[in-house]
Amino acid sequence: MAKRDIIAIGGSAGSIEVIRQVCRALPAQLQASVLVAVHVGAGNQNLLAGILDSGGPLPAGTAVDGEPLQQARIYVAPADHHLVLDGRHVRLGRGPRENMARPAIDPLFRSAGISAGPRAIGVLLSGMLNDGASGLADLKRCGGVTVVQNPLDALEGEMPRTALLASDVDYRAPAGDLADLLARLVDQEAGPALVAPASVALEVAIAMGRLSDTPTIAEIADPVALTCPGCGGTLSQIRRSPLRFRCQVGHGYTAEALVHEQEGSVDEAIRMALRVIGERAVMMEKMTLDALQAGRSAAAATFEERAQEYRRSAGVLMGAALKA
């Protein structure tokens, strides 16, 4: 029976040092390939691969689209590209962002589950919000083994914590124990192969840039009365757990990530309204003064009353802005 030979690692804030620690402690003759996706900005200089290459026994490099997998080697997702596994090859995609990130962790985990099934190990590390939770659940649906960094050990424990809530994770461990755990899992025989859900494969294809339109999204999700923060399109709710959404363009959000983005939009809308109402109050005050100078006392009283109403409304909005 085949052994586990794919390790997919995902992380965000607070994960770089953990990844360095894990990769430094992995055995030089590791009978597995290691793929790493970390949230980085589009302008990132792709330095992580060099750091890992010089700091441990395994050679590391920024992933190149189409290159064949080798054991005892680390492949790092480049900036602004999703990293996915396609059989025995690495692929890079510029499909829509997921949870505001590209590279995102979920596509890597899903593709590892689709391509390797029970031979795959998914590892989710420190980070904010919950990218990786649904991908880890999908990897497990495909028969893979799931691991999270202990949330209490992580610099940012939200990502591993939400993963533990999203599915029945197989292992949790502090950063210092992860390398030994992974080495043991690689030495074990993989379990029986499972039939991968077609909906998981479709989401991998979207990450790779497959045209995502209303009929495509309808295969995996149902429209809801919510708007995509990224493009303004209608969101649809993915039918499998955990709770997630995609728009017709393909932008993906967990419920938590969507709330986070909506909070920013609400705050911006309140501040724009505050500016407009403040300007109207100023105009009413100027019109009041102009009416008084012209001897139109009745008009001046009306303008003054409206100015006070605007100022009261501005006070309510200011209170809301401070709470947002």
Q: What is the pLDDT of residues 14-25, one digit of tens each?
A: 999 999 999 999
Answer left, alpha or beta for residue 85, where phi above 0 means left and psi between -120 and 50 means alpha.
beta
Provide long-range contacts, Cβ within 8 A and 24+ apart, for 190-194.
190/1, 190/2, 190/3, 190/4, 190/117, 190/118, 190/119, 190/143, 191/118, 191/143, 192/118, 192/143, 193/117, 193/118, 193/143, 194/117, 194/118, 194/141, 194/142, 194/143
Does the annotation count 170 as an active-site position?
no
Q: Is the pLDDT of residue 130 over 60?
A: yes
Q: Average per-residue pLDDT in the chain? A: 92
Per-residue confidence (pLDDT) for residue 185, from 0 to 100: 98
3-state secondary structure of 34: strand
Reported as a single tens digit per residue, the pLDDT across 177-230 is 999 999 999 999 998 889 999 999 999 999 999 988 889 999 999 999 999 988
Reported as a single tens digit per residue, the pLDDT across 262-306 is 776 666 677 777 788 888 889 999 999 999 999 999 989 999 999
Per-residue confidence (pLDDT) for residue 238, from 0 to 100: 97
Instruction: Give the active site residue among 131, 134, 153, 167.
Output: 131
Instruction: Give the active site residue among 12, 111, 134, 167.
Output: 12
Reported as a single tens digit per residue, the pLDDT across 45-66 is 789 999 999 989 999 999 999 9
Per-residue confidence (pLDDT) for residue 251, from 0 to 100: 95
Does the annotation count 313 as an active-site position?
no
Does the annotation count 251 as an active-site position?
no
Per-residue confidence (pLDDT) for residue 324, from 0 to 100: 54
Q: Is the pLDDT of residue 127 over 70?
A: yes
What is the value of pTM for the model shown? 0.83
Instruction: Give the active site residue among 39, 81, 82, 251.
Output: 39
